[in-house]
Amino acid sequence: MTTDSAPSSAARPLVLGSTSRYRRELLARLGLPFATDAPAVNETPRAGESPRDLALRLALAKARDVASRQPEAIVIGSDQVADLAGQPLGKPGDHARAVAQLRAMRGRTVIFQTALSVVCLAAGFEQSDLAAVEVRFRWLEDDEIERYLRAEQPYDCAGSAKSEGLGIALLDAIHSDDPTALIGLPLIRTTRLLRAAGLRLP
């Protein structure tokens, strides 16, 4: 979804519409001052909705929700959905669900759909993009799954594994054109959209 590019607007505040510490840490790499604001969005998938469409819809909904309260700001919204043969896998939330997710993914390829939206109501700017990351999991024995989950407890991560940590040992391969997308925020696409919204970056 695209509108005309916004005029240069270096004075506009930047807001990350997320409570994710992973996205906050990634955005901080750009050296830009920003605030965070928690979006109030129902993340329940719609009937028949693909993981890709779900991620895009939620990223835009989050950005729009925060922008409605901060219309002068440039707002970033993002969402990630793990796509296992067309079925969405969200954050497990607890140990039992994480075990079930990793058992379902072992020996298989999962597409992590990481969507991004940037919205500025005052400028009439709205653009979205998506990074699809292909992740191939090794065949994991039950005891490997148990040891990993006890060690890292990735219950707030879609797909139940942290590739930036010990979770990398669960994988055979990662294919992506935007390296930070798997962690939760595709920074190449983020900088592209922020420049289009009028922010100056190095």
Residues sharing a CB contact under 8 Å with residue 146, sequence separation 6 or more, in sequence order = 99
Enter the pTM of the model. Answer: 0.89
Question: Going by C-beta distance under 8 Å and a sequence separation of 6 or more, which residues neighbour residue 103?
Answer: 140, 142, 145
Residues 9-34 have pLDDT tens digits of: 457 999 999 999 999 999 999 999 99
Q: Which residues pair with 135 in a beta bridge?
A: 110, 174
User: Which amino acid belongs to residue 69?
Assistant: R
Closest by Cα among 38, 39, 42, 14 to 28:
14
Task: Work out the percent of the chain whose per-residue pLDDT is above 70.
Answer: 95
Please indicate whether residue 131 or residue 8 has the higher confidence score (pLDDT). 131
96 CB contacts (<8 Å, ≥6 apart)? Answer: none
Distance CA(132)–CA(52), nearest Å, equals 8
- Condensed to tens digits (0 to 9), the pLDDT of residues 101-116 reads 999 999 999 999 999 9
pLDDT value for 10: 52
List, for residues 31-84, the tens digit of each pLDDT value.
999 999 999 999 899 999 999 999 999 999 999 999 999 999 999 999 999 999
Query: What is the longest distance spanned by two Cα atoms in the chain?
Result: 55
Kindly report the number of other CB atoms within 10 A of residue 124's CB atom: 10
Mean pLDDT of the chain: 93
List active site positions: 79
Bridge partners of 78, per DSSP, are: 116
Residue 112, CB half-sphere, CA atoms under 13 Å: how many?
A: 32
What kind of architecture, by CATH, is found in domain 14-196? Answer: Alpha-Beta Complex (3.90)
